[in-house]
Amino acid sequence: MAENIKLKVGVLISGNGSNLQSIIDACEDPNFPAELSIVISNKAEAYGLGRAKKANIKTKVIEHQNFQHRSDFEKNITKALINANVELVCLAGFMRILTDTFVYSWKDRLINVHPSLLPIFKGLNTHQRAIECGVKFSGCTIHFVSSSMDEGPIILQAAVPVHQNDTSKSLAERVLDAEHKLYPMAIRLFANKKIWIENDLVKFTNIEDHNEILINPNIKN
């Protein structure tokens, strides 16, 4: 694949950046159809910034507290993304709610990872809530971002079992493993134009691609 036809991806983070790392690792494969153009953090101390620097990816810190208005914060983010020629924006543990204006300006080009099987457990503390509800499976979702929090057309989901003795930490680790597999898959599908949105639902060009993304746990484990 010629270098210049790769999809240019921008990632927004706030913290650890383990999902970012999974995207960095995927991009190291010469056959992966996307490349990282920029990583933006709203926190200067985000560990993920170091991961990006180590991989020689351009980074930028845009701290929300330096802006009186959310719109100015977001304008700066958009400016940085456009300057880096970004075509797809990936939220990966980015802990700021984005305004409708930002979401609209990146419509159908903005995706997020959420640590639950949406539409259940939107918002924070998903793993604790899953354990307290007694659900037997939890998981993660990659979805296009719409103006309502943790909503928008679902691209991929992976289910993981919830064990009887799970803590929110142990469940989070199991779900994170699934997130790390799923995010690069979603980027690959988007870059290869294998998915599109119809009536707020994600459709797959090829039904075999759809079958391949049905990741479920081995229930004997």
- In a 3-state reduction of DSSP, which class is residue 194? coil
* Residue 93 touching ligand GRF (CB under 6 A): yes
- In a 3-state reduction of DSSP, which class is residue 12? strand
Q: Which residues contact 15 (CB under 8 A, 6 or more apart)?
A: 43, 46, 47, 48, 93, 95
- In the complex, what is the shortest distance from the CB of residue 197 to ligand GRF, in angstroms, rounded to a whole number? 21
Environment class of residue 29 by beta-carbon count within 10 Å: exposed (0-12), middle (13-18) or buried (19+)?
A: exposed
CB atoms within 10 A of CB 25: 14
Catalytic residue among 114, 127, 143, 180: 114
* Residue 176 touching ligand GRF (CB under 6 A): yes
Q: Which of 10, 33, 115, 184 binds ligand GRF (CB under 6 A)?
A: 115
Distance CA(91)–CA(141), nearest Å, equals: 12
User: Which span (15-23, 97-105, 160-168, 197-205) binds ligand GRF, by CB under 6 A?
Assistant: 15-23
> Does the active-site annotation cover 114?
yes
* Residue 139 touching ligand GRF (CB under 6 A): no
Q: Which of 92, 111, 117, 155 binds ligand GRF (CB under 6 A)?
A: 92
Q: Catalytic amino acids?
A: 114
Q: Which residues bind ligand GRF (CB under 6 A)?
A: 15-19, 92-93, 113-115, 176, 179
